[in-house]
Chains A and B, each alone.
Chain A
Amino acid sequence: MRSMEEARIGVYVCWCGNNIAKMVDVELVTELIGKLPHVVVSKNYKYMCSDPGQELIAEDILEHNLNRVVVAACSPRIHELTFRKVLEKSGLNPYLFEMANIREQDSWVHDNREAATRKAVELVAGAISRVQYHEPLDKRSVGINPATLVIGGGVAGMSAALEVANAGREVYLLEKTEQLGGMVSHFDLTFPYLYDADKMLEVMIRRTINHPHIKVFYNTTISEVHGYIGNFETTIQSDSNQEQTLTFGNIIVATGLRPFDASRVGQYGYGRLPNVITSVEFEDLLRTGQVRTKEGNIPQNIAIIHCVGSRNTEFHEYCSRTCCQVALKFANQLRSLLPDSNIYDLYADMRAFGKGCEELYTATSKKEIIFMMFDQQHELPQIIKSVAPGDPPMLIFFREKISGLGLEIPADMIILMVGMEAHPDVKDIAHAVGISICSNAFFIEKHPKLDPVATTTSGVYIVGNCQGPKGIPDSVAQAKAAAARVLATINQGSVHVEVTTAEVNETLCCGCQTCIMVCPYTAIHYDREKKVSVVNEVLCKGCGTCGSTCPTGAIRSKHFTDQQILSQIDGLMKMALKIE
C-alpha cells in the first residue's frame, strides 16, 4: 500500500568511527545508493547517532522535503528509537523510518572488505525498498490501576509492599504460608554484621500487617492472572475459602527459593545419621540458644560442609551465593557458644564477596576454625558412622585439595550448607503472570544488567531470591527498585503500549483458533458471536507468531506486513543481481 505521495527518501550511512568504515567502503555505498530511484539525498557521516549526525537528518528533512528516512548503521535494537525521535521532531511519523544493520550483520562479522561493501549496498537497498511501504502508525496509551499485587511475603515481598504502600498506594500481598517472613524467619543472626534477625524481621512484619494500604492474604497464591500492564485482574481463594477478585496495575513477584533436599547427596547420610543436619535446621537450633546433638550432648567436634547441592552438575551447576557467608556466620556463633570445641570448615571455594564479607572471613579465620578444601566436582567427602571404640560418632573422609592428602575428621555434629533451588510451583507462577524461567528455574529478568528487576512482560517485576540466589541486602535493594518502577508507572497515570501489533481481518478469519494456541502473550481471544479471533492490542507484543501461523492469511502484523517484508527481499535481491 504505497502512500499516495511520491516517496522522497534520505539515506545516511554511518562509519561508526572505524567499526564500519574499516570493513565497508562507506563512500562507495553512499554513491551507489544515491543512484537508486526515490533516493533524494545519500550521505555518510562518522557518527550518525551523535548530535551533529541527528541534526544532519533533521536539516535534510526540512530542506529536501523528505518523507522517508533510512539509516545504515548498527543494530536497530541500539538506535532505532534515537532516529525515530529525529523524525518525530521534524514533523514526520516515526514509523516512516528503516534501519539497515551494516555493523553487527556486516562489518563486525566479515573480513573481506569488497564483499562486505557489496553486502552493505544490498542491505541498504532492501531497506530503501521496504521503507516505501511503511505506513504512519499512531501511539496508544492505557490508564493505570494504582493498586499493586505482591506475590510472596518474605523480606523482598514485604520491602516492596511497604515501599509502594508508603507512597499511599494500595498493595495486595499474597503469602502461601500462614505467616510472613519467608526464609529469614528461621535465622538467629544475619551475616556479615551478625545482627539479630528477629529484631529486623519483627519490625518489618509489624509494619506490613498494620499498614493501612497493605492487605495481606495468608495461605493464598495465584493461579491465573488476566489483563495487561495497568489493568490486571485475578481471582484468589482467601482464608475463609471465599473467592475474591482483585484488580491491580502492576505485579511484583517475590516468591523466593527453597532449600535443597540434602538427602539427595547419598554419601552425606542426611536422614540416616541423626546428627547430620542442614543449615536451615542449624539456624533453628541456634535460635534455641543451645547447640546440642540429637542425644542432648555438647558437641566437641563440629564440621561444616559447603556447596551441598550447588556447584555440581549432578545437582545444580550454579553457586547458591550466600552459603559460604552463612557458614562463616555459623563458625563465629559456634566459637562464641562453644569456645573449646573443634570447628572444621570444608569448602570447595570460599566465596566471601560483598560488603563486610571478606572482613567476616578474615575475622573468622582468627578464631581457630580449621579450613579445608575439597573437590566439589570429582570427589565429595564421605560421612560414615564410626564404630571404633573411643572414636567420635562420625568420621568424614575426604581428599584435601591443597595438600593432596586423604584425611579424616572426627565429628559429633555435621552441618550441611544446602543450596537454594526453585519452588516446585515456579512454572505455574511464571505461566500465570506471563514471564519466563531459565534453565535453573529462576525467573528471567528483562536485561541481566540494564533492566534487572523488570521482565519481558510490562508491569511484572521479579525481586529477591526468585530471580536468583542472593542475600538479604540485595533482595531488599531489588524490592525497592521494583517499587520505584511501579510508583513511576502509577504516577504517569497511563503507559504507552506497543503499536506494531497484529490485527485480524474478520472476513478472512475462519475461526480455527490456531493463533490463540500459539500466542505467547495470551493476547488473542475468540469472539463467539462473530466466530472470529480478536487481538487485544494492549496485550499484543507484535511478535508475529500468529501472523506466520494463520492458515488463511487473516492476520496482519503492523509494521511487518507481507508487503513490507517481501519488498525488502525484493530490493535486496535486485541489487544483488545488479552488482553481479
Chain B
Amino acid sequence: MNNRVNPDLPRELREFGIRDWNECYHCGTCTAICPLTAQGFLFPRKTIRLMQMGLKDHLSTCVEPWLCYYCGECSEQCPRNANPGELMMSLRRYLTSLYDWTGLSKKFYTSKVWELAFIIIFAILVVLTFIFVLPPLDTTLTPQGGVKVNSFAPFHIIEYFDWAMAIVVAGLLVSNILRMYYRVVWQGTSNKVGLLDHIREFWHLIYNFVVQPKFSKCEDKSYWLYHWLLMSGYTIMFILIVVFLPWFQTEKIHPPWHLQRALGYYATIGLLIGLTAAIIGRLKKQEFKFQFSHVSDWLFLVMLTLTVITGILIHLFRVNGMPWATYVSYIAHMAILVPMILIEVPFSKWSHLAYRPFAVYFARLQKSAMTKTA
C-alpha cells in the first residue's frame, strides 16, 4: 500500500461533488454523534482524514462510506460546516467509480455531457427498435375493452430484451462487487478470511438488503420508511418486469385485488411516496442530506419519476381502452427505463443499493479477520 501523502487526490475528488474538502479540522464531533459508527469502523472523521491526505490505497479498501446512510446528523453538528455527511456521499461516488472496471462510472459522475449523451442515445435506440423491429400496432380492443398490449409489444420478445439487459447489468454489477470484495476484504485485511466466516456472516447480507435496518438507526425514522418504500417498490417492479413479465403484462384485466395488480399498485405507491419525499427534500434543502445535490442525484430522481408516471399512464390508458395513448406511453416508458437501468444499476445510484448490504457483509468479514489478529 502506498503511504505517501498525495495532495492531488482531494483536488481530483472535486469532480465527485466534494466541495470544501479541507474544512474539517478534526474535532471529532461527527464521529461522536454518528448513530452508525462503531468500534473498528470509526467514521466519518477518520475517512475524511484519509481523503484529505489523498491516501488512495487506504480509501479504496474502506467500507466506511457504505456504512453511512446519510442521516445528516453529523453535518448538522459539525462546528465548522465541513458537511461530513456530504463528504461521505461524495466518497461513495468515488468508490463506485473505483470498483467499476469499465471506467464508465467515473465518466458519468464527472461529465454531464457523457451522461446525457448516453441516455439520449439509448432512448433513441429504444424508440427506433419499437418503430422498426416490433410488429405494427393493433388498435382493436380485447373483449373486456382493454388494449392489446401483447400484440404491440409481445411479452416473449420484450422478455428477451429484459433478460439481455438484466444479464448485462447484473454481469457488470457482480464484477464490480467482486472488485469491491477484492479491495475491501483481500487488500483491506491483513488476515485472510476463511470460508466458514463467509458462510456464517452471509445472513447479514440478506437481512441488510431486505430490511435496510441501518436507516432506522437515524434519528428521523420517517427517512427509513421513505427509503424502504422507494427501494422495495423499485425492487418489486424490477422483479415483476424482468422475471415475471408474462404474468405481469397480461391482456386480461384482473380485478384490482388480484395479486398482479395489487403488487403493481403497491410498488407504484411506494415509489411515488419515496420519490415525492426525496424531491420535496431536495427542493426545500432544509435537511443537510438534501442541501447539496449532485447532477446525478437529480437526474436519477427525474428519470425514475418519469418512468413511474409513464408506467401509470400505460396502465390507465390500457384498462380504459385507449390504444394509441397506451402505445406512445409504452415507448416513452421504455425509452426512459432502459437508459436509466443501464446507468443507475451498475454505475450509479442504484448500485449503492447492492454495495451497501455487501459493505455490511464485508465489514463483518473484516471484523472477524481483525478479531483473529487480536
Contact = CB atoms under 8 A, between A and B. Distances in A.
A, B: real partners: yes
Contact of A405 (B3, B10, B20): B3
B156 interface: no
Nearest to B54: A370
B53 A373 contact: no
A75 B252 CA distance: 101
A403 B58 contact: yes
Nearest to A404: B46
A191 to B, nearest CB: 17
Contacts of B204: none
B25 A350 contact: yes
Interface in A203-251: none
B340 to A, nearest CB: 37
B50 interface: yes
Contacts of B45: 402
A368 interface: yes
B88 interface: no
Contacts of B11: 368
A408 B22 contact: no
A366 B22 contact: yes
Nearest to A370: B7
B3 A370 contact: no
B7 A406 contact: no
B357 to A, nearest CB: 26
Interface residues of A, number: 23
Given A365-B23, A373-B26, A403 B7 contact: no
Contacts of B46: 402-403
A406 B53 CA distance: 12
Nearest to A344: B5
Interface string A386-408: 00000000000000101101111
Size category of the B interface is: 20 to 34
Given A400-B53, A402-B49, A407-B53, A368 B7 contact: yes
Contacts of B49: 400, 402-403
A410 B20 CA distance: 24
Contact of B53 (A361, A365, A372): A372
B326 interface: no
A15 B114 CA distance: 84
A171 B23 CA distance: 49
Which residue of B3, B11, B20, B55 has the most chain A CB atoms within 10 A of its CB atom? Answer: B3
B4 A366 contact: no
A361 B24 CA distance: 11
Interface in B1-36: 3-5, 7, 10-11, 20, 22-23, 25-26
A99 B254 CA distance: 103
Which residue of B11, B49, B50, B54 has the most chain A CB atoms within 10 A of its CB atom? Answer: B49
B285 interface: no
Contacts of B7: 342, 344, 368, 370
Nearest to B80: A362
B22 A369 contact: yes
Contacts of A407: 3-5, 53, 55
Interface string A343-365: 01000001000000000011001
B307 interface: no
B26 A370 contact: no
Nearest to B21: A368
B268 interface: no
B51 to A, nearest CB: 10
Interface in B53-68: 53-55, 58
A370 B24 CA distance: 11
Contacts of A402: 26, 45-46, 49
A371 interface: yes
Given A365-B25, A371-B26, A408-B3, 17 more contacts: A362-B23, A362-B80, A367-B22, A368-B22, A369-B22, A370-B53, A400-B49, A402-B26, A402-B45, A402-B49, A403-B46, A405-B55, A406-B3, A407-B3, A407-B4, A407-B5, A409-B4
15 contacts: A344-B5, A344-B7, A361-B25, A370-B52, A371-B26, A371-B52, A372-B53, A402-B26, A403-B49, A403-B55, A405-B58, A408-B3, A408-B5, A409-B4, A410-B4
Interface of A: 342, 344, 350, 361-362, 365-373, 400, 402-403, 405-410
4 tightest A-B contacts by CB? A342-B7, A402-B49, A365-B22, A409-B5
